[in-house]
A and B are shown apart, each in its own frame.
Chain A
Amino acid sequence: MKENEKPEKGNQIIEEAAQAEYKYGFVTDIETEVIPKGLDEDVVRRISALKGEPEWLLEFRLKAYRYWLTLKAPTWGHVHVPEIDYQDISYYAAPRQKKAGEKKEIDPELKKTFDKLGIPLEEQLRLSGMAVDAVMDSVSVKTTYRERLAELGVIFCSISEAVKDYPDLVRKYLGKVVPYTDNFYAALNSAVFSDGSFVYIPKGVRCPMELSTYFRINAAQTGQFERTLIVADDDAYVSYLEGCTAPMRDENQLHAAIVEIIVEDRAEVKYSTVQNWYPGDKDGKGGIYNLVTKRGLCRGDHSKLSWTQVETGSAITWKYPSCVLKGDHSVGEFYSVALTNNWQEADTGTKMIHLGKNSTSTIVSKGISAGHSQNSYRGMVKIAPKATGCRNFTQCDSLLLSDTSGAHTFPVIEVGNDTSVVEHEATTSKINEDQIFYCNQRGIPTEDAVGLIVNGYAKEVMSKLPMEFAVEAQKLLSISLEGSVG
């Protein structure tokens, strides 16, 4: 970042912070095809049929569904997920585009929605090279820059299209990192997943632009079950971004996604998330349940996977973007800022599973709790007996902004040999009155001072985000703190 860009931003952020609370809470008035509520094998078959899927994928879904029936929702998280009536949710909602059939043209109402979210879908309007896959409810609405990327052999499309156009690739990788047997929500997702993005970067290609998927929930009483699959072949590189918002509603909505990433020899994937699902109102009414399984497999030697997440949204967050470091000298990173306010609950962290020799991992987690919220870091660092010479560094900080919020840490460390080194540092602090007064004395009001201090606290993580996202994320932190200081 250049020196002269920083103050510009600082100021914007504060301007924004002074304004409204959740500004993505609108609903798009568009005709939506929603299948009736409820879940059984017929519904799974119907979703598969609606998407025109091959037999093998239907089989995959059905196996997952049958397995899911045998499972119970996990209760070990430090969150209170109420009993969800899975028969009271609709599992497929597709905005009906007026010009169906003509793929190039997008419904003006949808275009307007994404414009409003700051995601213009016309390629010429994009400020910088960033390709976008826009997903509304259960379907991908539009993917930009596909052709240009295709010239390099990069595949970037919705997973539904990938199933049709690149069935062998999808079949080769789908469910290999997160099998449907992984956990309750992963099984559910595998049975009913709708859309999401598919990325394939061929050998030796450095993807020239950021790829991003923007997830939007619009329809009421539906769940979103997206599925993303990213494959970076030998020596490839890609930076991928994910953003999400939803309307403000009094009832809770379920979002249970799976992200799988495969990184081959010497390849590198950067995965960044700014999660801003509707968090519920200040009394804890409504909001998204964000119950997500994200995992990457660093299969190749010298491969690298880096997760960066800024979590400010959702009533409940339950997610642990993880790295399985199978390749020798592979590298896993997890940088996280999780901010909870009002009655939000977040239980998030990572797993670093070291299987390859000399693999290294870094975990930097910054939790910020305000209001009555509960914020937990849960992490596992596991070094297999044969994985010699591994290193992990974990830094886990919590910042409390109120007396009524909670910060919790649940680290697990298992080291299977004596040539590996694991370091864990943790701090918990309260926001410092002296810092606030110092800002006040220089003319900065308390609310803005808190925004500054919190952004400073999170800077180490924010600096890992791609530039455009970093600005967004900084604003978001300030906005999410609205009214948190009395």
Chain B
Amino acid sequence: MLIIKDLQASIEDKQILKGINLTVKPGEVHAIMGPNGSGKSTLSAVLTGNPAYTVTGGSVEFYGKDLLALSPEDRAHEGLFLSFQYPVEIPGVSMVNFMRTALNEKRKYFGQEPLSAADFLKLMREKRSIVQLDNKLASRAVNEGFSGGEKKRNEIFQMAMLEPKLSILDETDSGLDIDALRIVASGVNTLKSKENATIVITHYQRLLDYIKPDFVHVLYKGRIVMSAGPELALELEDKGYDWIKEQVDSQQ
């Protein structure tokens, strides 16, 4: 579904991504790991079209479409979802209103009628339970006054509502205690199917105990420098990143 070829990107003239190659197929879970500042979050921002970044080379194909040519909202409609590392607060905008707007924009994109209020609320109830988000939370303003754990659960709730084909979870485990982590991970696992895929961006192995990856990639200095099966994550947990850094740096 996703084919990234030699993707390069910069922010304020600073080159961050220096040639990323990655292919994701339906049903797969990819983990992208790496030390701080290696470009992990940049990759998620560039794929979703954050205007703060400039693509300087390469291509991204998503279900045969040129992803980079689409607006951020159209990328979302086509089935790309980002669970933000730091979900923003939008004061005064209720989650209900926000989600309804988002969902109906997607329906509009596919030429469908907007969902009726009753159907929408039913859907919300159903999806809310996946991440054990209570009713009060859903009627509050978007992320306003949410705890760290609530914000991340709210991200997965939105993912459940929008049913994306490819979800990118950007450091979803950061700031989560073990209980929240379990809830979030079980939400992600519930939503997993043969048709959709997930890219898990993380620093630590911890999250991967709960969300089992099929592939683990190490990102360092803007490139994927190593790819292997889930055992790589365990090795990294054990040995840290230094040995990879040394290996890469000595090659240069």
Contacts and interface: CB of A to CB of B under 8 A. Distances in A.
Contact of A460 (B73, B92, B102): B92
Given A444-B73, A452-B98, A457 B92 contact: yes
A456 interface: yes
Contact of B73 (A5, A11, A443, A459): A443
B41 to A, nearest CB: 13
A111 to B, nearest CB: 33
Contact of B91 (A14, A434, A457): A457
A178 B75 CA distance: 58
Nearest to B86: A434
Interface string B87-111: 1101111101111111111100100
Interface residues of A, number: 32
Nearest to A438: B88
B73 A456 contact: no
B120 A7 contact: yes
A3 interface: yes
A453 interface: yes
Category for how many chain B residues contact A = 35 or more
Contacts, number: 104
Given A7-B120, A8-B117, A445 B105 contact: yes
A226 interface: no
Interface stretch (B22-30, B76-84, B201-209, B229-237): B76-84
A10 B114 CA distance: 12
Given A10-B101, A456-B93, A459-B92, A442 B162 contact: yes
Contacts of B102: 439, 442-444
Contacts of B101: 7, 10-11, 14, 444, 448, 452
Nearest to B135: A3
A6 interface: yes
A441 B82 contact: yes
Interface in A439-486: 439-445, 448, 452-453, 455-460
A453 B104 contact: no
B121 interface: yes
B97 A7 contact: yes
Given A7-B117, A440-B72, A448-B105, A435 B141 contact: no
A451 B158 CA distance: 20
B51 interface: yes
A178 B130 CA distance: 60
Contacts of B81: 441
B162 A443 contact: yes
Contacts of B97: 6-7, 9-10, 452
A466 B158 CA distance: 32
A437 interface: yes
Nearest to A457: B92
A70 interface: no
Q: Which of A432, A438, A441, A456 gathers the greatest number of chain B CB atoms within 10 Å?
A: A441
Contacts of A439: 90, 98, 102
Given A7-B96, A7-B120, A8-B117, A437 B72 contact: yes
Given A7-B101, A448-B101, 4 more contacts: A11-B114, A441-B49, A441-B72, A443-B102
